[in-house]
Copies of this chain bind each other. A is one copy, B any other.
Amino acid sequence: MVDDTDALIARTPEEFRRKLDIEVHTEHQVIEIDAKNQRVAVQAQGAPLRWEPYDELVIATGSAPIVPSWDGVGARGVFAVKSLEDGVRIRQYIDSEQPRHAVVVGGGYIGIEMAENLRHLGIETTLIEQLAEVMPSLDPDMGALVSQGLRDLGVRLLLQHSVSGIEVKSGRVRALQTNAGIIPCDLLILGLGVRPVSELAHAAGVKLGVKNAIRVDPYLKSSIPSIWAVGDVAESTNLITGQPGYVALATVANKQGRIAGLNLSGASIPFPGVLGTAITRVGTLEVARTGLTLAEAQNAQVDVVAVRIQSETKLGYFPDVSSITVKLIADPKSGRLVGGQIVGGTGSGKRIDTIAVAATAKMTIHDMVDLDLAYAPPFSDVWDPVQIAARALVSKMSQ
């Protein structure tokens, strides 16, 4: 789809210099933070270690893919996916080694996207997921729609399967050991999620929180004065539970970066928090979620009631109408919106924003029924599918 990977780079060091008067040092590694003396130890290739002083330090070390401790995980043909470079390396491997049997481990966003793209390249692809359905950030009843979407793309799904090891021959992956037997493969993609790269901060005495992400206050300051943290390395407050959580998404990172930058420049703006709103595409299916799933609500000991409805993306007489399934989750006492999930055809996914804004505003499902949302036959039913779900939940709660 994109021929030149440079087109995927948002800003170059040169642009930072020219447009923003910011010095960017690439290929420099910070190997220690000396919080007491407010300085960092910097190592550039071929240069002696040097100490750089700071007044304020922002840690934005991001996340790294979770790599399991299986034997053989370092073999040729085994890839974790995080960066642009990972994508380039996988593509080079495919071009040079022409793998025929790919296995993707993990049915989250990365695993699903990789599986779809491998199928587009004509490679036989198996996706292995430990849970009952792919997309663990959705409830299983919604995840089942995504599982079917993957099957429709020709991806073989092995659900409720777990991996125990990798078989290697001549330094290259040749099979995967699972609880259901050996699966031959010459390309193995690990889509097991990411973890915050917080070791450097931790060594400096910065307090960590959920999943070892850096604990931050609402202004994005860490536990140590003059040290801030943003993005995939930092926690973020969940707007529904009010509790710290870990959401490694670009949207959150960008917003935290903006707020920390303003606060560093003298402002005092709290970052209100996140809903974990996310969207992806699987073939022609659009998949989106926000707030808490049933499982997340249970973990947070939030009492909930849920409903799932099926409707259409536009009026039924349009030739390109498609099905849309909306799930809404609310507090059974107050009716306050707790979360939502959407799976459907073109035009479905971004409707999650309606739910996200309503949840941010602490609206109830009754409030949602009355919302003045846009209607015209090419765009929606007179009642938007999100409102049809809200109405169904109002009915269910009044029984």
Contacts and interface: CB of A to CB of B under 8 A. Distances in A.
A363 B379 CA distance: 25
A165 to B, nearest CB: 33
B317 A1 contact: yes
A351 B379 CA distance: 11
Contacts of A367: 272, 360
A372 B252 contact: yes
A201 interface: no
A173 B356 CA distance: 53
A249 interface: yes
Contact of A353 (B1, B8, B272, B373): B373
Interface string A369-380: 111111110111
Given A250-B382, A358-B361, A372 B1 contact: no
A277 B373 contact: yes
> How many copies are assembled?
2
Contacts of A318: 1
B361 A357 contact: yes
A278 B374 contact: yes
A304 interface: no
A350 B314 CA distance: 12
Contact of A357 (B259, B358, B376): B358
Given A357-B357, A370-B272, A375 B279 contact: yes
A236 to B, nearest CB: 9
A77 B319 CA distance: 31
Interface string A248-269: 0111101100110000000000
A77 B371 CA distance: 40
A274 B357 CA distance: 17
A28 B259 CA distance: 64
A361 B367 CA distance: 10
Contacts of A254: 382-383
Contacts of A271: 370
A38 B380 CA distance: 39
A146 interface: no
Contact of A376 (B280, B351, B380): B280
Interface string A1-45: 110000110000000000000000000000000000000000000
Given A255-B370, A358-B361, A374-B278, A7 B317 contact: yes
A251 B272 CA distance: 32
A352 interface: yes
Contacts of A350: 347, 350-351, 374, 379-380
Interface string A289-301: 0100000000000
A338 B166 CA distance: 59
Interface string A272-292: 111111111100001010100
Contacts of A363: 357, 361
Interface of A: 1-2, 7-8, 239, 249-252, 254-255, 258-259, 271-281, 286, 288, 290, 316-319, 347, 349-354, 356-358, 360-361, 363, 367, 369-376, 378-380, 382-384
11 contacts: A254-B382, A254-B383, A276-B372, A277-B372, A279-B376, A279-B380, A286-B379, A290-B374, A349-B379, A353-B353, A361-B363
3 tightest A-B CB contacts, nearest first: A361-B361, A279-B374, A357-B357
